[in-house]
């Protein structure tokens, strides 16, 4: 039997960045408080101007632009490709990172996890047609970037997600089936996490 939680975008708490340069909406995390102690964490950040990122030593990060034209990162002195909407990019949390906005403010989606504690897989799924997925991960996180997303979780339940809502499924062993369907084109993000 899977444990299912639906995290609504309207209820996400706002937190200041570690470096004080902006704020983040925290979606969900496995444990800990503030900006310490978690094994994994999902969040949405609003970036209004080019500048530096906070460091998260010992963590891996995957960032995706949700809204706005995009950005380019400098990671330890190396320039990334232009990061456009729904194009994920991974980098080390202890890297020195600055961002250059391509054309105005953006909103981005962040997975931060401790790779020595969790194996992680992140993929954006096109919802031009219904999707059927199977996963053996312990924790599944499904983040909606569309206005209405219908999800069937194995034999255990059904959920309807709005824009930026997140479905969390804690699953024991074996394969879990997810069926995902949107009321129109768009995308969602599937994150699979398992303890090492």
Residue 151 lies in a domain: yes
CA dist., res. 9 & res. 157, Å (int): 20
According to the model, what pLDDT value does residue 17 have?
76
Please provide residue 19's backbone torsions phi and psi, each rounded to the nearest 5 degrees.
Answer: -90, 5
Which whole number is the average pLDDT over 44-71? 94
Q: Within a 10 A sphere around the Cβ of 22, how many other Cβ atoms?
A: 15
Does 35 have pLDDT greater than 70?
no
Which whole number is the average pLDDT over 173-196? 93
129 & 106 share domain: no
Residue 22 lies in a domain: yes
Give the global pTM. 0.94
Buried b / exposed e along 71-105 (16+ C-beta atoms within 10 A): bbbbbeeeebeebebeeebebbbebebebebbeee
Does 184 have pLDDT greater than 90?
no
Tell me the pLDDT tens digit for each residue of 79-121.
999 999 999 999 999 999 999 999 999 999 999 999 999 999 9
According to the model, what pLDDT value does residue 43 have?
96
108 & 122 share domain: no
CA dist., res. 190 & res. 196, Å (int): 19
Residue 183 lies in a domain: yes
According to the model, what pLDDT value does residue 77 have?
95
27 & 70 share domain: yes
49 & 108 share domain: yes
Which whole number is the average pLDDT over 47-63? 92
50 & 99 share domain: yes
Alpha-carbon dihedral sign for residues 131, 62, 71, 53: positive
Which whole number is the average pLDDT over 135-149? 96
Helices (H) and strands (E) in the chain, counts: 0, 19
Q: What's the mean per-residue pLDDT of the chain? A: 93
Does 37 have pLDDT greater than 90?
no
Which whole number is the average pLDDT over 175-183? 94
Residue 92 lies in a domain: yes
Does 21 have pLDDT greater than 80?
no
Tally the domains of the chain: 2
According to the model, what pLDDT value does residue 174 have?
87
The domain containing residue 25 runs over which residues?
12-113
């Amino acid at each position: 039997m899977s444990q299912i939680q639906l995290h609504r975008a309207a209820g996400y708490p706002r937190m200041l960045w570690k470096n004080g340069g902006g704020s983040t909406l925290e979606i969900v995390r496995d444990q800990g408080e503030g900006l310490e102690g978690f094994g994994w964490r999902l969040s949405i950040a609003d970036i209004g101007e080019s500048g530096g990122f906070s460091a998260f030593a010992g963590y891996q990060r995957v960032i995706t632009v949700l809204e706005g034209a995009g950005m380019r990162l400098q990671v330890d002195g190396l320039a990334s490709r232009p990061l456009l909407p729904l194009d994920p990019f991974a980098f080390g949390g202890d890297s020195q990172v600055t961002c250059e906005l391509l054309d105005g403010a953006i909103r981005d989606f962040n997975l931060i996890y401790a790779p020595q504690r969790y194996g992680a897989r992140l993929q954006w799924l096109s919802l031009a047609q219904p999707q059927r997925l199977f996963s053996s991960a312990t924790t599944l996180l499904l983040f909606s970037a569309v206005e209405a997303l219908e999800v069937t979780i194995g034999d255990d339940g059904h959920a309807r997600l709005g824009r930026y809502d997140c479905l969390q499924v804690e699953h024991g062993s074996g394969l879990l089936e997810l069926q995902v369907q949107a009321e129109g084109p768009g995308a969602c993000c599937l994150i699979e996490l398992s303890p090492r």
